């Protein structure tokens, strides 16, 4: 009777072991710390996802986040933080892994301001120039309605502008008649108050690479049109003024 009882206890214990979830003995809390690549700056409030399905939350003021009950082994971490590039990487958790696990994210590079010659044009004077100057004006609402079209297409279809083809297939804004026979007559281009063409013999901007959903306003002054006083010394081939969003 005692033997039978002992066998029963052994089998019951074995059953409990078999019924126990496998991860219960190999899961642990994992701590991740995120910082700016090549620096010690902690990345705060980064949104963290593990293995595409676990929404772990956001990093704290030290750039750290804890993920409880994470199985030992390999995992995938995704991080989204303002001012930083989208992050995707692998890491391992286990009894021999040192915590916190250090991860680095590259910061988004700030685009350099375009080179150009300062002008007196200001975006705030857009409405005033619409009433005083002769030309074609596109407002933010009109540009949004254009649905992201290339600027060359917008100017050609909606403003009747002359678009010339450059040596590499570029689309340049040009006057129908050049002051010098046989020479291209490209319009002066001003972007955010800076004259970018002509400037240091640079080529005009390719209007196929400028899209309406990147612009807040556009001013087009064809050759012979009465432009604003600030453009009195502009090219006789007209002028194009762009304002970015």
Residue 49 pLDDT grade (very low, low, confident, very high; cuts 50, 70, 90): very high
Q: How many CB atoms lie within 10 A of CB 211?
A: 17
Domain segments of the chain as ranges: 25-105, 117-244
Most confident range, picked from 126-140, 146-160, 188-202: 146-160
Burial class (CB in 10 A: 0-12, 13-18, 19+), 113: exposed
pLDDT tops 60 at residue 10: no
Q: What is the pLDDT of residue 125?
A: 78
- pLDDT tens string 50-107: 998 899 999 999 999 999 999 999 999 999 888 888 888 999 999 999 999 999 998 8
| pLDDT at res. 19 | 47
Angle at the Cα of 68 (from 62 to 69), degrees rounded to 5?
155
- Of 93 and 229, which is predicted with more confidence? 93
Please report which confidence band the pLDDT of residue 178 belongs to, taking 50, 70 and 90 as the band edges: very low
Using DSSP's 3-state secondary structure scheme, residue 119 falls into: coil
- Residue 92: partners with Cβ closer than 8 Å, 6 or more residues away: 73, 74, 75
Asked whether 239 and 227 are in contact (CB, 8 A), the reply is: yes
- CATH fold of the domain at 25-105: Immunoglobulin-like (2.60.40)
Q: What mean pLDDT do residues 133-150 have?
A: 87
Identify the weakest region by mean pLDDT among 13-22, 82-91, 183-192: 13-22
Q: What's the Cα-to-Cα distance from 184 to each of 115, 159, 238, rounded to whole Å?
A: 23, 20, 12
Whole-number pLDDT of residue 9: 45
Report the range of poorest mean pLDDT among 48-52, 147-151, 225-229. 225-229
If DSSP codes are grouped into helix, strand and coil, which group holds residue 195?
strand
Q: How confident is the model at residue 179 (pLDDT cuts 50, 70, 90)?
A: very low
Q: Domain 117-244, what fold?
A: Ferric Hydroxamate Uptake Protein; Chain A, domain 1 (2.170.130)
Query: Which of 14-28, 66-80, 112-126, 198-212 is predicted with the least confidence, judged by mean pLDDT?
Result: 14-28
Q: How far apart are CA 22 and CA 71, in angstroms?
A: 10
Average pLDDT, the chain: 80
Strand partners, 55: 49
For residue 43, the model assigns a pLDDT of 94
**pLDDT at res. 205:** 86
Alpha-carbon span 214 to 192, nearest angstrom: 12
* Residue 127 phi, psi (nearest 5): -65, -40
Distances (CA, A) of 141 to 30, 126, 129, 130, 196: 49, 14, 17, 15, 25
Residues 6+ positions from 5 with CB-CB distance below 8 Å: none
Confidence of residue 182 (pLDDT cuts 50, 70, 90): low
């Amino acid at each position: 009777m005692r033997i039978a009882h002992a066998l029963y206890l052994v089998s019951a214990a074995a059953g409990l072991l078999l019924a126990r979830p496998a991860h219960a003995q190999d899961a642990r809390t994992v701590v991740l710390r995120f910082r700016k690549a090549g620096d010690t700056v902690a990345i705060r409030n980064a949104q963290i996802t593990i293995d595409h399905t676990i929404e772990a939350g956001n990093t704290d003021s030290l750039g750290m986040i804890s993920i409880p009950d994470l199985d030992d082994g390999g995992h995938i971490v995704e991080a989204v933080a303002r001012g930083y590039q989208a992050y995707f990487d692998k890491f391992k958790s286990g009894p021999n892994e040192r915590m916190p696990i250090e991860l680095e994210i590259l910061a988004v590079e700030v685009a350099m301001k375009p080179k150009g010659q300062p002008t007196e044009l200001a975006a705030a004077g857009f409405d005033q120039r619409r009433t005083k100057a002769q030309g074609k004006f596109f407002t933010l609402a009109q540009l949004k309605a254009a649905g992201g079209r290339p600027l060359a297409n917008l100017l050609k279809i909606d403003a009747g502008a002359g678009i010339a083809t450059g040596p590499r297939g570029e689309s340049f804004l040009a006057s129908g008649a050049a002051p010098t026979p046989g020479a291209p007559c490209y319009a002066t281009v001003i972007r955010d108050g800076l004259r970018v063409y002509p400037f240091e013999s640079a080529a005009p901007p390719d209007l196929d690479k400028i899209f309406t959903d990147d612009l807040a306003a556009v001013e087009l002054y064809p050759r012979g049109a009465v432009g604003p006083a600030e453009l009195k010394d502009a090219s006789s081939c007209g002028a194009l003024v762009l304002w970015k969003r």
